[in-house]
Amino acid sequence: MQLDNPTLIGVYIASITAVTSVTTNLITTVISNWFQTNRQKRSELQDIYAACIKSLATVSTLSSATESNMDNIELSLVEAKKCLALLLICTKKSNQIKLIEEEVYLFISGQYEQFLKKASINVLQPSDKSLEKYEYLLNQPQKQVISAADIMLQLIIKIAAQDKRLLL
């Protein structure tokens, strides 16, 4: 290696600078993409949790059993089931969702009676006072749906509060 030639020294320095610059840019791009992907996943997860909570809260809130409310309850129930299914898919490796995975499956599949039995074993009760207010208007399946939605709402709020992926 000839270090006494100024032209070669300039070429070596330029080559080392170029390689260092490309490596630095590559590392910066990888780190930036990783953070962007994490932000995007967190935002999607927040949206799914929010949609679950909104849909389940709508079912619980509109339990007055009037015909117009029953249509809204059905639409909200469909949306809640869709969001819960997405939550299971997006969080399949999450320890939090594994705690309520069976309950979510029961709710999504419409097995409200088994869902309520499992919830009562775990000392979970519906807290919605509107169920009591309109209880005389509701038939047994409607009571089960509204009670199950209220309990699922409690579970989702609890799980969302514990999900570390939602933290900044």
Is residue 30 assigned to a domain? no
For range 45-53, the mean pLDDT: 92
118-126 long-range contacts, CB within 8 A, separation 24+? 119/148, 119/151, 124/151, 124/154, 124/155, 125/151, 126/60, 126/150, 126/151
pLDDT for res 130: 47
Is residue 9 assigned to a domain? no
Q: Specify the pTM.
A: 0.73
Is residue 22 assigned to a domain? no
Is residue 95 assigned to a domain? yes
Is residue 12 assigned to a domain? no
- Supply the range of the domain harboring residue 138: 43-166
For range 135-153, the mean pLDDT: 77
Q: Is pLDDT of 66 > 70?
A: no
Is residue 101 assigned to a domain? yes
Is residue 33 assigned to a domain? no
Is residue 1 assigned to a domain? no
Q: Give me the number of domains the chain comprises.
A: 1
Q: Is pLDDT of 11 > 90?
A: no
